Structure 1
Amino acid sequence: MQKIESLNNITHEKLRVNASFSTELGDNLASTITFFTELREIEKEYPILCRKDPETGEHQAVVFFGLQKDENLFLTEADPAQQRHVGWRAEYVPAAVARGPFSIGVQREADSGSEQREPVVHIDLKHPKACCDEGEALFLENGGRSPYLNYITTILDTINDGMHLTKIMFEAFNKHELLEPVTLDIQLVNQDKLKFNGFETINVEKLSQLSGEELEKLNKSGFLQAAYFLANSMSNFEKLIDWKNRKLLASGHTN
């Protein structure tokens, strides 16, 4: 059960958060959603596919960490001296995971007779990363935000801004019919066969056939580059397959 509170430097003055990553801390995710605002970084290290949210019918971009349920191949033995993000073997952690126990909430304030809605940082005090005596401080002795909390605020801005821009991005892709179904058939060294279906990716051929005016509009919005980020990220599945096969070989599970 969650215990969500609005973060403040009085109630949570001494609170610390575990900023590392592990299965025990709830990071054993095979995938999560990602946003337009971080695609440049995501494309460098992770595969991305697109799909419609079954509840809303709106398209989402999905970033993959593993090939099977609850499998996160980016989780690794923690080595603070060698890792930028302890327990995670990549330079960038997707915002939906990096946020940990934090989220964006809305605070209503009356101003000149009208109600204003201001975004505020919320924290889940029941989250495993918030239940620790050691970890990253959220506030300085003078009450100011710590470097870690500033980082978290940036991550939350990536999500908050990204939700709106991602929706507009997919509206543009659908307008030009740039999404096409994709199926991945994967065979591992132990002869197990995995199948990914129900997803979509960018049809690069259709993208290249758009008119100069259409390409210019996509380029000015940043969506042209985003389309290529999505398409190019597919090659990162090869890395996941390699990591999965190495893991199987190391454990002797090849028969």
Structure 2
Amino acid sequence: MSNFQILNNVDHKDLRIVEAVGQEFGDGIHSCPAYTFEFRDLQVDFPLMLQATEHDGLIPVAVMGFESGENLFLKNSEWTALSRPAFMRKGPFLIGQHQSQEGEEVRLLSVDMAHPRVSQGTEGEAVFQPLGGRTHYLEQRADLLEQIHEGAGHTQRFTQCLADLELVESITLDISLPDGSKNQLLGYSAINEDNVKALSAESLEQLSQQGFLMPLFMMLASLSNMGRLIQFKQQARDANQ
């Protein structure tokens, strides 16, 4: 269970964050949210698809495996992809909305003290300097969280526009591995390429003006990574036999 606390240099003066890669640090996930600002980088490695969520509706996700807990880009505690999703890079940090004494909503940096990357010992990156100032590491994470905060709104508008233009279709992928075993990728949606080709000039202009055209084509291009993901799955099966 998460234990978010507002980050401060008194209660968290000795806080460190472990940056190593591994299942034990929460990296064993088969997909994670993706934001439009990172699509250009992520499409090199991951299939970018869409998934319905209870609270946020339809969101883009980077697919890293075929079943729960399976990350095919995690091998022998090493990250093999060229890119790493912002959702994973942010670690235990979050920008939360809090109410000030004046009743105004303010955004404050929080940390999940129950996150497996949190360390109170000597391992990991220090969050605060000895005299209480922010370390360069924390400044980098704060900048990333601001980017995620701003990118989340753009990403939400992007997916809503896709739905409005009827460019989204639910899919079920039946995947046959070279050894004859079969897998299914369920619960995802993708861009309907035929509907994209049929878009009017007006709709294309609308997408372009809102900064949605590049993310749209990055999502389409990313689907070619499904073949590599299948190859990684077969390699993982072979290694475990």
Q: Aligned partner of 2:182: which letter?
A: K
Structure 1 segment 162-181 matched on structure 2, within 5 A: 162-181=151-170
| Alpha-carbon separation, structure 2, partners of 1:24 and 1:230 | 30
Q: Is the 8 A contact 1:107 1:117 kept in 2?
A: yes
Partner secondary structure for residue 210 of structure 1: coil
**Partner of 2:75 in structure 1?**
76
Tell whether 2:181 aligns with 1:182.
Answer: no
Question: Percent identity at matched positions?
Answer: 32
| Alpha-carbon separation, structure 2, partners of 1:76 and 1:136 | 23
| Alpha-carbon separation, structure 1, partners of 2:73 and 2:151 | 23
Q: Aligned partner of 1:103: which letter?
A: L
- Give the deviation of 1:194 after TM superposition: 0.7
**Partner of 2:233 in structure 1?**
244
Q: Aligned partner of 1:60: which letter?
A: I
Q: Is the 8 A contact 1:189 1:248 kept in 2?
A: no
| Alpha-carbon separation, structure 2, partners of 1:3 and 1:174 | 35
- Decide which moves more: 219-228 or 174-183: 174-183
**Partner of 2:99 in structure 1?**
108
| Alpha-carbon separation, structure 1, partners of 2:16 and 2:149 | 24
| Alpha-carbon separation, structure 2, partners of 1:197 and 1:75 | 22
- Give the deviation of 1:168 after TM superposition: 0.9
Quick one: which of 98, 115, 118 aligns to 2:89?
98
- Give the deviation of 1:204 after TM superposition: 2.3
Q: Is the 8 A contact 2:72 2:236 kept in 1?
A: no
- Give the deviation of 1:247 after TM superposition: 2.2
- Give the deviation of 1:241 after TM superposition: 1.1
Q: Is the 8 A contact 1:34 1:63 kept in 2?
A: yes
- State the aligned residue count: 240
**Partner of 2:181 in structure 1?**
192
**Partner of 1:2 in structure 2?**
2
**Partner of 1:81 in structure 2?**
none
| Alpha-carbon separation, structure 2, partners of 1:34 and 1:64 | 10
| Alpha-carbon separation, structure 2, partners of 1:198 and 1:106 | 31
Q: Is the 8 A contact 1:18 1:129 kept in 2?
A: yes
Q: Aligned partner of 2:139: which letter?
A: N
**Partner of 1:144 in structure 2?**
133
- Give the deviation of 1:90 after TM superposition: 2.2
**Partner of 1:211 in structure 2?**
200
TM-score, structure 1 normalization: 0.86
Flag structure 2 segments of 5+ consecutive residues without an equivalent. none
- Give the deviation of 1:110 after TM superposition: 5.0
- Give the deviation of 1:165 after TM superposition: 1.7
- Give the deviation of 1:132 after TM superposition: 4.7
Q: Aligned partner of 1:72: which letter?
A: N
Kindly report structure 1 stretches of 4+ aligned residues shifted beyond 3 Å.
none
**Partner of 1:35 in structure 2?**
35
**Partner of 1:26 in structure 2?**
26
Flag structure 1 segments of 5+ consecutive residues without an equivalent. 79-86
Q: Is the 8 A contact 1:37 1:161 kept in 2?
A: no
TM-score, structure 2 normalization: 0.90
- Give the deviation of 1:142 after TM superposition: 4.3
Q: Aligned partner of 1:220: which letter?
A: Q
Report Cα offsets for 1:145-175 as digits up to 9, x if no partner: 2222122223322332232222211221122
Q: Aligned partner of 1:126: which letter?
A: A
Q: Is the 8 A contact 1:99 1:156 kept in 2?
A: yes
Report Cα offsets for 1:15-47 as digits up to 9, x if no partner: 111012211122111112222232222212111
Report Cα offsets for 1:188-236 as digits up to 9, x if no partner: 2332211123322112232232222221221121111111111111111
Q: Is the 8 A contact 1:3 1:124 kept in 2?
A: yes
- Give the deviation of 1:116 after TM superposition: 2.6
**Partner of 1:45 in structure 2?**
45
Partner secondary structure for residue 33 of structure 2: strand
Q: Is the 8 A contact 1:18 1:132 kept in 2?
A: no
Q: Aligned partner of 2:169: which letter?
A: E
